[in-house]
Every structure is written in structure tokens, then in C-alpha cells.
């Protein structure tokens, strides 16, 4: 059964794709699932459409004329207004290293061409859920970190910390279970959802991004890597 999307809150997806046939197919299928769709055919147009239309999610082709999808993603992350905008990178490359490169520039997820529409829709739903859903309201605290779930604000030592939607959910989950060690698979189930197939090493990329945001220079690394086991939120030395 497809997720029911209220017509009042139909999410807007910006499809950035220079292949007209693929863009048309994506629009048709996304609209059928209840999403609103905007299109852009190159990177510059994408950045303009993002500023004007304020989409809820960007489906970003890697191989674009002039500016690559990677560069578009970097620029999205560089601007404060779009720093948290969910981005799924669409790539023709199946190389794992490329996928990791895409994630490192700030994409929240990636999907390789050719993909099934069902797989893409599952990833879109999961990412929108990560960026919107707040099952627990209130505040979480750990060491010198506070997380306000209602306002989506994170502070460390009084300093604001900006996190992407995936890093926010990851930190939220770890702060709900401090000092407990979770395997990559457990984190994937908890944060991405059990119906999503993601490579376990994707967790490593997001942990790296979380560390980069949460640990300022000279601050204690609160994310502990437990060799062969996984990760925990902890202040004990490794
Ligand atoms: Ca392309």
C-alpha cells in the first residue's frame, strides 16, 4: 500500500535531470504517487529553482551539462537556507567509491541508474520521513550536547550545530541510547528503516559527517568507534 500523502502537505520534489525522457518518466510516476514536481535541466537552473520553489527534496542527476551534480550538491550545502535540504544523488556509476564521494559532498542518499521506480520511491519516502518526522518531542541531552526535537535545534556547549536530516536522526537515535554500542545494521534499521537497502558503509559516511559537525576543534569526540562492533555515543576514551 503506498503511503498516503495529504493533499495539504504534498511534498515538492525538484527533479534535476538533463535527459528529457527520464525527467518525464520521473514526473509522471512522482505525480501519480501524490508528489508535486518541479524540473530543472542543468545545475544553474536547479539552484535558481531551489531558491524560488523551496522544494522538500531534490533528486539530483550526477551527470549534468556544465555544472556537475556533485558541484550543485556542494553549493546546496554551502548556502545556509538549503544546508538541510534533502538530496538524493542519481548516478550512472555503480562504483562504490563514487557513491561514497557523492555522500561526502553532502548528498543524503544515492541511487544508481538504472533503478526501479519502486526503489526510488522507497528512498524518497524514507528520506522525507527522516527529515520531517519527529516521533518524540522534547529535549535530549548528553554530555554538553542538547537536542531540541520540536525546533530541530542542536547545540554543543552553547554553540549551534547544523546537521543534515540523516545525521540528525542518527544523533537522535544515539542520544536516546547513550553508551550502547550499535552495529551498522542496527543503525540502518533504526535510522533508515528496515525496508531500505543501503550499504553498511553508508553508515560510516554519515558518522563521519556527524563527527565533523558535532566535534569542534579541541572538543572531545563523543562518537566512539568500536572495532568490528559499531558505534556508540560515549565520552570514555577509546
Ligand atoms: Ca544526465
Assigned C-alpha cell, 161:
550545530
Rounded distance from Cα 179 to ligand 1 centre (Å): 44
Average pLDDT score, the chain: 87
Rounded distance from Cα 91 to ligand 1 centre (Å): 8
Nearest to 140 by CA among 164, 171, 181, 167: 171
**86: how many CB neighbours lie within 10 A of its CB?**
24
Rounded distance from Cα 64 to ligand 1 centre (Å): 5
Query: Same domain for 152 and 187?
Result: yes
Rounded distance from Cα 84 to ligand 1 centre (Å): 24
Q: What's the pLDDT band for 131 if we cut at 50, 70, 90?
A: confident
Rounded distance from Cα 183 to ligand 1 centre (Å): 36
In whole angstroms, give the CA distance from residue 192 to residue 155. 23
For the stretch 205-210, contacts whose Cβ atoms lie closer than 8 Å and that sit 24 or more positions apart, written own/partner, are: 205/100, 205/103, 205/104, 206/103, 206/166, 206/167, 206/170, 207/170, 207/231, 208/104, 209/104, 209/164, 209/167, 210/163, 210/167, 210/170, 210/171
Rounded distance from Cα 193 to ligand 1 centre (Å): 29
Query: Same domain for 101 and 154?
Result: no
Query: Same domain for 79 and 164?
Result: no
For 73-110, the DSSP string reads HHHHHHSGGGTT--EEEEES---HHHHHHHHHTT-SEE
Nearest to 209 by CA among 112, 83, 79, 57: 83
Q: Among 132, 149, 172, which residue terminates a domain?
A: 132
Q: What's the pLDDT band for 27 if we cut at 50, 70, 90?
A: very high
Domain that holds residue 197: 139-233
- pLDDT reported for residue 5: 47
Residue identified by cell 518526522 is 133
**How large is the average pLDDT for residues 221-228?**
90
- Is residue 7 in a domain? no
More confident site: 93 or 120: 120
Which residues are within 8 A (CB) of 90 and not within 5 positions of it... i.e. 6 or more apart?
17, 59, 60, 61, 62, 69, 110, 111, 112, 113, 115
Q: Among 98, 132, 166, which residue terminates a domain?
A: 132
Rounded distance from Cα 160 to ligand 1 centre (Å): 37
Report how many domains make up the chain. 2
In whole angstroms, give the CA distance from residue 54 to residue 11. 10
Q: Among 132, 166, 201, which residue terminates a domain?
A: 132
- Is residue 159 in a domain? yes
| Diameter of the chain measured on Cα atoms | 54
Rounded distance from Cα 118 to ligand 1 centre (Å): 20
Amino acid at each position: 500500500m503506498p503511503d498516503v500523502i495529504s493533499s495539504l502537505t504534498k511534498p515538492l520534489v525538484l527533479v534535476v535531470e538533463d535527459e528529457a525522457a527520464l525527467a518525464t518518466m520521473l514526473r509522471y510516476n512522482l505525480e501519480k504517487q501524490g508528489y508535486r514536481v518541479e524540473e530543472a535541466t542543468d545545475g544553474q537552473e536547479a539552484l535558481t529553482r531551489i531558491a524560488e520553489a523551496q522544494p522538500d527534496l531534490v533528486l539530483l542527476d550526477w551527470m549534468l551539462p556544465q555544472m556537475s551534480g556533485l558541484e550543485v550538491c556542494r553549493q546546496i550545502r554551502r548556502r545556509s537556507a538549503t544546508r538541510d535540504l534533502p538530496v538524493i544523488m542519481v548516478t550512472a556509476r555503480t562504483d562504490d567509491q563514487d557513491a561514497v564521494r557523492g555522500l561526502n559532498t553532502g548528498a543524503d542518499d544515492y541511487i544508481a541508474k538504472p533503478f526501479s521506480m519502486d526503489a526510488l520511491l522507497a528512498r524518497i519516502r524514507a528520506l522525507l520521513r527522516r527529515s520531517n518526522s519527529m516521533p518524540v518531542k522534547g529535549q535530549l541531552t548528553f554530555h554538553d550536547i542538547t537536542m531540541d526535537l520540536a525546533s530541530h535545534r542542536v547545540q554543543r556547549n552553547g554553540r549551534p550545530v547544523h546537521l543534515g536530516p540523516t545525521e540528525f536522526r542518527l544523533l537522535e537515535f544515539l542520544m536516546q541510547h547513550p553508551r550502547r554500542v550499535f552495529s551498522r545494521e542496527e543503525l540502518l534499521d533504526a535510522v533508515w528503516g528496515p525496508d531500505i537497502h543501503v550499504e553498511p558503509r553508508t553508515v560510516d559516511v554519515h558518522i563521519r559527517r556527524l563527527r565533523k559537525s558535532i566535534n569542534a576543534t579541541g572538543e572531545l569526540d563523543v562518537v566512539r568507534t568500536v572495532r568490528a562492533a559499531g558505534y556508540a555515543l560515549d565520552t570514555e576514551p577509546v
